[in-house]
Chains A and B, each alone.
Chain A
Amino acid sequence: MATSLITDEMKKLVGVPWPSQVYKVEEGAIRRYAQAIDDPNPLYNDAAYAARSKHGRLMCPPGFAGWPEGGERLLGIEVCEAMINAGAPPRPLDGGIEFEFMLPVGAGDTLTETTTITDIHERKTKSGKALFVQAEFVYVNSAGETAMKSAATYIYR
């Protein structure tokens, strides 16, 4: 009988939220992001321009939520390492991501990010059996409103 890639330790991680991280959205971080991808959009680079725009402030490119204020590692990386420690094949790759944007995110925002592994399953791929892990990330602003959600897929082979 073929051995499953799914261990009991992994199953215990499903549905259990990680400790939340608090993200502060700062102008410098937004600019760094835009500069890293060579995006000259003034809404992300020029505070004076952004102040005159409909948003009234420097805005985040879609999917960016600033930096964790405690300097913590990305929750996505924590998820990857926890899965490997629970016995996942040790070669993870980013499989993809889905975002839902409910509210604009920009400079001055404080977001609380919570992550939860929502699904683990095995799949046959071209290079053999692999583990597909889905994790959900939820970003809530200081008014208690959900600003953004994402579902990321990680592949372990």
Chain B
Amino acid sequence: MSQQVYYEDINVGEVLPPLPKVATTQMLVRWAGAIGDDNPLHYESTFATEQGVGETIVHGSLKRAWLGQLLTDWLGEYGELLKFSCQYRGIDYPRKMKSMSEPQDGETWWCRGKVKRKYEENGYHLVDCRIWVENGKKEKTTIGSAVAALPSRNP
């Protein structure tokens, strides 16, 4: 894991280390199993078409989990996520599989974030961040925000 980040190291406007993700039909199956979401919208084409989305779509919750990783990777073991929210503004479609383990060529999604504010409150050293997921066309299909507490070098 990368080095722990401290409150004093952070500047407003700072960009979080971007996180690439590739959604595949296989990742969607693993995700559905991991959280118990058995909605056929994410694994059955006919159902997805009848639901008006054209093809099976990426779970909003999966994109939410990616953004969670964007934050926890940056916050490190001693940072604490206090609030997190996101909205699923655009539909994303997973890459299909070329073989049992390789996806077909296709888009890569990028999870990104920026520090909007840093402040101290009730003894906590806090940062507010804007976070989002960009699809292969650089459209922000998921947008959100987070509040986190960082460790301080001067506690």
Q: Which residues of B contact A38 (CB under 8 A)?
A: 21, 27
CA distance A54 to B69 in the complex (A): 19
Q: Check B84 against A37 for contact (C-beta < 8 Å).
A: no
**Contact mask for chain A residues 76-99; partner B; CB cutoff 8 A; 1 contact, 0 none:** 110000000000000101111111
Smallest CB gap from B57: residue in A: A93
Nearest residue, chain A, Cβ from B144: A96
A21-53 residues at the B interface, CB under 8 angstroms? 29, 32-33, 35-39, 41-43, 53
- Are the C-beta atoms of B81 and A101 separated by less than 8 Å? yes
- A147 to B: closest C-beta gap in Å: 13
Which residues of chain B come closer than 8 Å to A94, judged between CB atoms?
Answer: 59-61, 88
Which partner residue on chain B sits nearest A74 by CB separation?
B36
Residues of B within 8 Å of A, CB-based: how many?
39
Across the interface, A37 reaches (CB within 8 A) one of B53, B66, B87, namely B66
Check A97 against B73 for contact (C-beta < 8 Å). Answer: no
Contacting residue for A101 out of B33, B36, B82, CB 8 A: B82
Interface size class of A (residues with CB under 8 A): 35 or more
Cβ-closest 4 pairs across A and B: A96-B87, A94-B60, A98-B85, A36-B30
Asked whether B8 is an interface residue with its Cβ less than 8 Å from the other chain, the reply is: no
| With A41-B73, A63-B68 as contacts: A54 and B84 at CB distance below 8 Å | no
Within 8 A of A (CB), among B52-89: 52-53, 59-62, 64-66, 68-69, 71-73, 77-78, 80-88
Q: Give CA–CA (A54, B87) in the complex, Å.
A: 32
Q: Are A63 and B84 in contact (CB under 8 A)?
A: yes
Tell me the complex Cα distance, A67–B33, Å: 11
Sample 27 A-B pairs with CB under 8 A, ordered by A number. A32-B34, A35-B34, A36-B33, A36-B35, A37-B27, A37-B31, A37-B65, A41-B69, A41-B72, A42-B1, A54-B78, A62-B71, A63-B65, A63-B68, A67-B36, A68-B36, A74-B36, A76-B37, A91-B52, A94-B88, A95-B60, A96-B87, A97-B60, A97-B86, A98-B85, A99-B85, A100-B82
In the bound complex, residues from chain B placing their C-beta under 8 Å from that of A29 are 34
Task: Check if B68 sits within 8 Å of A97, measured CB to CB.
Answer: no
Asked whether any CB of chain A lies closer than 8 Å to the CB of B104, the reply is no
- The reply to whether A93 and B82 form a contact with Cβ atoms under 8 Å apart is no
- Specify which chain B residues have a CB less than 8 angstroms from the CB of A41 in the assembled complex: 1, 69, 72-73
B39 within 8 A of A: yes
In the bound assembly, the distance between CA atoms of A77 and B66 in angstroms comes to 21
A124 interface residue (CB < 8 Å to B): no
Min distance, Cβ A107 to any Cβ of chain B, angstroms:
15
In the complex, chain A residues whose CB is within 8 Å of the CB of B30: 32, 35-36
